[in-house]
Amino acid sequence: MSATITPYEDGPLIVRGDFELRTPDGETIDPARGTIALCRCGKSAIKPFCDGTHKTFGFKAGTKRD
Ligand code: FES
Mutate to test the pocket of ligand 1, among 43, 47, 57 (most ligand atoms within 8 A of CB): 43
Phi, psi dihedrals of residue 48, rounded to the nearest 5°: -85, 5
pLDDT of residue 64: 81
Indicate which CATH number applies to the domain containing 14.
3.40.5
Return the ligand 1 atom nearest residue 12 CA. 1
Average pLDDT over all residues of the chain:
94
Q: Which residues contact 41 (CB under 8 A, 6 or more apart)?
A: 12, 50, 53, 54, 57, 59, 61
* Average confidence (pLDDT) over 25-43: 95
Distance CA 30, CA 62 (A): 28
pLDDT of residue 66: 63
* Average confidence (pLDDT) over 32-52: 96
Domain that includes residue 19, residue range: 3-55
pLDDT at 33 over 80: yes
**Is 42 contained in some domain?**
yes
